[in-house]
Structure formats: structure tokens, C-alpha cells
Amino acid sequence: MENLSRLYELILNNSALQYIDPLTGISRTPKDFHESLAIDETSGLVFLYLDNQLKSVEVLLNFLRSNFTIALLSPALNEDYKTNLEQHYRPYYIYDPLQGAINGYTSVNAGPEHQLFRQEVATKTEVHPQIKLLINTSGSTGSPKFVKLSDRNIVSNALSIVDYLPIHQADVTPLNLPLFYSYGFSVFTSNSLAGGSIICTNSTIMEKEFWAELEQFQYTSLAGVPYVYEMLKRIGFLEKKYPSLRYLTQAGGRLNESILAAFGQYAVDHKISFFSMYGQTEATARISYLPPEYLLDKLGSIGKPIKEGNLDIDAESGELRYYGPNIFGGYAAKVEDLLAYKQDTVLLTGDLARTDHDGFFYITGRSKRFIKLFGVRINLDEIEQILSEKFSGIRFICIAEEDKYMVVAYVDAGIDEKVIKQLLFEQVKIHPACVKTKLLDSIPLTPNGKVDYMAIKDEILV
């Protein structure tokens, strides 16, 4: 085994850290998991379909220790997409808590509670040694496109987050965001480096078990995407007190300013801190944050860059640009892309922005065809392709109202909107409440024959 990664060393050296299973009360330290699985001492690629339970954390830590490159994926991915990804990238190991068997793989003798599989006939996928982590850019659609991240990317971003968040060794933090999601992974890494107890739970804020666990373990922080805070407000969070909570964090898209203001005032009234943050998977997670004391005065701002990072705005295009050691090493759209890692000096965020007189940044729009629903980034072009394939090549147009909902437009009156919503829910896990449909008389085109998205958006979003 080669030298341990810096990330794993830092986690291993946190003497206060423990991972807790809320269902059994079992507590484990990183040292308890050190070499707890019989992993081959080689390198290559592994697929980890992670939930947030203790056994997934054990598997993740063991592979962080190893020389393998880890691809983080959702266990809820469509089975056909899983098969497509596995055939395309040929991972040496696969961990999937939802599968009892995988064709071409044999179960590893790692204990009955671990669904860990190894290739029956080893065909090692070559990977550049700097690539430690792969995160799927469209976690819902099953695209084979990954963001390539190094150990340095991950450590630098985690340490920057620790620099501004008030994480300390008495903290009790729930894993209430998916580990395979860059935001959830950053909660895991930053709290593993500097925190105390991490509760390994699959419970969501919409389940009574989550609130029972909050009361039992006395959570000191919560992390959420905009949807989480919308639901918290709806279920009456702001009408109650939670004495153990010290701070809240929000990222994963723009939160409605009225809801943001309500939580900002709640934070002031209850003497807790609310951190509004901005980031992208291509920057490992975080790019900027708004200090809590400015939340109400600079409502809607993404704040200023994290430690060791820098932001500016392209004078011609208005696009926000980021500079820092956490910038990724390129995309992997095919297995051959894993042979290279090239870190650019600047990240073009795809977001349009402005600054105020105090140097605080504000996002004013998107220049790319991506949206975030429930905190998951979705490629609108891929959604159009999925629908077109299902309905025999009929043209579909997908547009979005910020990160609130997606509109699917089409010209065929024979299409049932319920079928569209059901398909997107089954294959892409987009909740039907986030999908609206619009029957058009015709699809407007630009002079060069391309779909005129602006004209369609003007017609629909009036």
C-alpha cells in the first residue's frame, strides 16, 4: 500500500471523531474502520452507490485509505443506467446496498452486512494517479460524465470550509444530505476533519424518525438545499426552538429570498448562525459564503470567496469566474478520460453575476442549460433527449424558472402530461410537483434553425 492520502490521514488523526448508527446506537471511530475490509492492494476504479448508513461510511473510509479512485453514485439510480455506467467504466469493485448480486462480479467476504462485489475476471481500468474522486455531474440522469477531483482538491476545500464554519469537536452532525452529492460529501469531510459525532442516518426531515434523532442526539447543525428549507418552513420549524442547534447551512441553489429572510430573522432571534453558501461540483463543493452577520443586509448575496479562493466577473460576458486550489481536473465522459488530470487556473461557473459597493457577489442568472431541483443539478438537454427517445423522436423543449420548477413544452396534443411526469419521476427522480407541461402551436426557431429558447420562455413564463 502506498502512502495514505492526506484526506484520510486528517480524518484518522481526529481523536474526537465517532460515527454513530442511530438505529442501534453503535459507535465507531475511524481507527475502528482502518483496514476493516479485505480490499486488494492494487489501484483502479471503484463504484460506491452510497446511502448514509454506518456501513456505507465504513466502505467509503476503506476506499479513501486505498489507492483506488472512487466514483460516488446514488443507489437509487435507474438499473439500466447503473448497468450502462458499469459496462462503460468497468469498476474493479462495486458497493451497492440495494443489490444482492451483480453480473460478472462476485461477493467479497467482508461480512454479511456489506454488499461489496469484485470483478470475477479482473480487467483493471487505468486511472491517472491524481484522480481520487469522481462525482457524477448529473446524478439523476445516469450520464457517464464525471467531475475528476484530486486528494488536494478535496482537502483544500474541506479545510476552507472548516476555516469559516464554527465546527468543533463537541458537535453532533447528521448526514441528512446524500454522501454521493458534493454538498453532502463536503459535510462529511469537513466534519470528519474537525467535528465530533456524525450521525449516519437515512432519515429525512419529512420523517418523524429524523426529529426523534435530533432530540436524542441533540444536533448542533443542519445542512440543506433550498427544498429542505422550504419544507422546514412549511412544517413549522420556525415556530419552535431547538436549543442544541448552533448553526444552519444552505447551498445547492438559490433559496427564495422571503424564506431566506425568515430563517435569517429566526437565526438572529435564537442566537444561531445561518450560512448561505455557493458552490459547484467542479470546485469540489464550496466557492463562496455569506457571513451570518450580513445575511439580512445582503439578502440573496453569495458573499465572498472562501479562503485560498478568488472571484471576478468577465467584463464582456458577465460570467462569474473562480480561482483556487479546489478547481477540478477536468471531466470524464468516457473511460479514456480517466488517463488524464489537468487542473485549469480558472473555473467558468456558467453563472452571471454582479458585485455591490462592498464587494459582495450576487448571481443574476445562468448561462448554461442546467438547473437544480431538490439540490440535484439537472441537464435540461438530457431531459429533452430522454423524452424524445420515449415518444419516438417527438421534439420536446425544457426550460426552467430559476431553480423552482421545470416546464416541458411540446406540440403533439396526443401526449398525456401524466405520462411525462411519471416517466421523469421513474427515470430521473424528478418529483411531479416540479414539472409543468405546455402544449405549443409550434416551436419557434432562430434564423439559423435552432430552437429559440428565449421566445419559448417569454411565451410560457409570462
Nearest to 140 by CA among 75, 230, 226, 69: 75
**Residue 139 confidence (pLDDT):** 41
pTM of the model: 0.82
Find all residues with CB under 8 Å of 383, minimum gap 6, and list them. Answer: 141, 396, 398, 406, 408, 424, 428
Task: List the beta bridge partners of residue 222.
Answer: 248
What grid cell was written down for 458? 417569454
Residue span(s) of the chain under CATH 3.40.50.12780 come to 6-365
The CATH architecture to which 6-365 belongs is 3-Layer(aba) Sandwich (3.40)
Residue span(s) of the chain under CATH 3.30.300.30 come to 370-460
Q: Please, are residues 131 and 151 in contact by the beta-carbon 8 Å criterion?
A: no
Map grid coordinates 418523524 to a residue.
208
Question: Sheet harboring 319-323: ordered strands across?
Answer: 310-313, 319-323, 347-355, 361-366
DSSP three-state, residue 46: strand
For residue 366, the one-letter residue type is R
What grid cell was written down for 379? 441537464
Q: What is the signed CA dihedral for 41, 45, 49, 53, rounded to 10 degrees? A: 30
**Residue 447 confidence (pLDDT):** 47
Find all residues with CB under 8 Å of 33, minimum gap 6, and list them. Answer: 19, 57, 58, 61, 62
Rounded CA-CA distance 34/18 in Å is 13
**What is the mean pLDDT for each group of 10 consecutive residues in the chain (462 residues)?**
81 97 96 92 95 96 96 89 90 92 84 79 93 77 79 98 97 95 95 98 93 98 91 94 97 87 97 97 96 97 98 93 98 96 95 94 79 75 82 82 84 90 87 89 66 79 64
Q: Please, are residues 93 and 68 in contact by the beta-carbon 8 Å criterion?
A: yes
**Residue 188 confidence (pLDDT):** 98
Exposed e or buried b for every residue in 269-303, given b needs 16+ CB within 10 A? Answer: eeebbbbbbbbbbbbbbbbbbbebebbeebebbbb
155 class by beta-carbon count within 10 Å (0-12 exposed, 13-18 middle, 19+ buried): buried
Rounded CA-CA distance 79/65 in Å is 29
How far, CA to CA in Å, does 410 sit from each of 27, 362, 436, 449? 53, 34, 12, 17
**Residue 143 confidence (pLDDT):** 59
Rounded CA-CA distance 213/204 in Å is 11
- Which class is domain 370-460? alpha beta
